[in-house]
Amino acid sequence: MMDQLKEQSKKASEKLEDLSKKTQKEMEKMQKELEKTSKKAQKSIEKTGKQTKDSVNKAMKETRDSVNKAVRGDQGRTESSGSSLLHSTKEAVHIEVKGSEKKVKRGRRKDSSDEEDGLLDDIGDDSTT
């Protein structure tokens, strides 16, 4: 009976070792797959980041070019992007201020002194008599 228990214990131990080895192999296999997936994801993220950066740079360049082109069309000369944008902004503010001054000015109202001035002009004129 004792020999039989030892034999069963030995078989159970061998089965556990085999199961442990299989589990270890599966874990290593899964780890490799995770590393591959992680590398692919990292490359994809880097590629997307580069594309985004390129797209933003292209849009910024196009914006700068269009601003420069508009400024050159108005001024007839080429300026750096920063100074041309500053100049355009100053012009826009200047135009707005200039335009708002025109709106504020109103025609002078006639008052009684204007009429009196006109009446006094006729007095003493010999041509009326």
Q: What is the mean pLDDT of residues 10-22?
A: 95
| The predicted structure's pLDDT at residue 23 | 97
Q: CA-to-CA distance for 121 and 129, rounded, in angstroms?
A: 15
User: End-to-end CA distance of the chain, in Å?
Assistant: 162
| The predicted structure's pLDDT at residue 67 | 86
CB 37 within 8 A of CB 54: no
Q: CA-to-CA distance for 85 and 77, rounded, in angstroms?
A: 13
- pTM beyond 0.85: the answer is no
Report percent pLDDT > 90 for the chain.
38
CB 81 within 8 A of CB 68: yes
Task: Give residue 46's identity as a one-letter amino acid code.
Answer: E
pLDDT of 20 strictly over 90: yes
Instruction: Name which residue leads in pLDDT, 84 or 42.
Output: 42
Helix (H, G, I), strand (E, B) or coil at 76: coil
Q: What is the mean pLDDT of residues 88-94?
A: 60
Residue 22's pLDDT band (cuts 50, 70, 90): very high
Classify burial at 71, counting beta carbons within 10 Å of its beta carbon; exposed 0-12, middle 13-18, buried 19 or more: buried
